[in-house]
Structure 1
């Protein structure tokens, strides 16, 4: 992956090109716009910085802007919360020395596995860095895929979404969900762009998936705090599930995803049928096998 400085420059260029000059509140100057979006000098004017300084940021120069400058640029480009977090993460990464060792292997506390099992009537998963699937309860494995049966290196949500024929058949809105997975991975990568595991995953997906290459180059980011997924399940047919994300207070690298259905809906009935179909007397351990 490019350096954080280069990533920041690429992201700013893409964000500027997609900005609407009319929403920025700039007065008309009579000049014909040859490209979409704001001009560099317009972003600099709105942010209260020099055009030369902003240009050097887009060029990926090795400079580390202050928090105040980044906030001003984010306002000028009308970035959403995910975009703001991403630029702050990149600036933070640019100002830190490159790590010389791999990050520690992610571990899930035993109590969290117990929590997954306790949520037996609702599909639930724990995702870690770069969308690694760290744990999934019985119903989540039945609804999506049995991640614990995959080799350890393949237990990754974005990888499964992009490279699995099963995922393409399962999601009615596969392109929307797959794009969101890519954008969530990019958001996560902004915190540790030099992480070897992230670089390996991005490299593998870039080689194996044309959709990934296209969406990754768009430099869009997405925060999966909540949402809706439309599925066509091979056992129970069509259903729609909503999800809420809870970031664990003692480990911001791990998030709990809980999937629900509307009361009295056909989707609720389908999920109940799936729960009955997958039920076993001994239950199921949410813990992935190593």
Structure 2
């Protein structure tokens, strides 16, 4: 079956709007939720047959002018607008570069220099490519700390670890949706999405919503079985020497209970690492 990501994306956004949302009068019986195709075409100032061909995958090279018109008609925000361009392959060809899956020794050394805060490196599919000691300790409740999306949806520890699991799940799916536009030819990403869609009904439902956004900073509310609640902020930084990789650094407010809990977690982790050596 031929994929039609652009059509799926347009239909999902069309379904979210009602005529009253865009200043149109509602008339006739509606067989589907949201706007009709011809209503979107009117709002975008284009031929309704041309718009229908876009949704059906029969037209695959819309001009930037048409994309801007459709984005405005469907009330897309900045990130959805950019994602629309990527799905229509209307961006420069550099986005076909495959992400690097190995982390440079210099970056690993930098991660290890963050002794009091968790730091790790992700690829666009949210695989954990490298992590410092405190990040390993932070993710220790999971059976395997290999991929943040899999850990969220498939590992039983996820629901207890993320205090706001629903919010985390939505953010994970939105990140992956954005990544499919940024890296549409990345096999690992499509393999992961396919596996999660097949095994998690909740993931499949969120994926079908076509919500897209990427965050460079936010707050994480976590519950670690060893040290209790943790309220952490994070920063995501693009690794310029390895396109597609992001370095993520978690941070607790100095002097806060979360900062004290992170210090305790680091001490517990260091003690556990010494114990096997002392027993030999």
Task: State TM-score, norm by structure 1.
Answer: 0.82
Given the superposition, is the C-alpha separation of residues 93 and 195 from structure 1 closer, same or farther in structure 2, using an over 3 Å criterion?
farther
Question: Partner of 2:122 in structure 1?
Answer: 127
Question: Partner of 1:207 in structure 2?
Answer: 198
Segments of 5+ residues of structure 2 without an aligned counterpart are 275-280
The size of the alignment, in residue pairs, is 271
Question: Partner of 1:19 in structure 2?
Answer: 17
Q: Which has the higher contact order (CA 8 A, sep 6+)?
A: 1
Which whole-Å CA distance do the structure 2 matches of 1:270 and 1:14 have between them?
Answer: 42
Q: Find 1:168's aligned residue among 147, 159, 173.
A: 159
Query: Is the Cα contact below 8 Å between 2:17 and 2:35 reproduced in 1?
Result: yes
Which whole-Å CA distance do the structure 2 matches of 1:274 and 1:127 have between them?
Answer: 22
Segments of 5+ residues of structure 1 without an aligned counterpart are 284-290
Q: Find 1:186's aligned residue among 177, 181, 186.
A: 177
User: Could you give the per-residue CA deviations for residues 221-252 of structure 1, whole angstroms, max 9, x where no partner exists?
Assistant: 23122222211110111121111211123333
Question: Partner of 2:277 in structure 1?
Answer: none
Task: State TM-score, norm by structure 2.
Answer: 0.84
Question: Partner of 2:81 in structure 1?
Answer: 84
User: Could you give the per-residue CA deviations for residues 238-280 of structure 1, whole angstroms, max 9, x where no partner exists?
Assistant: 1211112111233330111111122332222212221222236
Which whole-Å CA distance do the structure 2 matches of 1:204 and 1:186 have between them?
Answer: 14
Given the superposition, is the C-alpha separation of residues 193 and 93 from structure 1 closer, same or farther in structure 2, using an over 3 Å criterion?
farther
Which whole-Å CA distance do the structure 2 matches of 1:90 and 1:262 have between them?
Answer: 39
Which whole-Å CA distance do the structure 1 matches of 2:80 and 2:6 have between them?
Answer: 11
CA RMSD of superposed structures (Å): 3.0
Query: Is the Cα contact below 8 Å between 2:122 and 2:246 reproduced in 1?
Result: yes
Question: Partner of 1:138 in structure 2?
Answer: 133
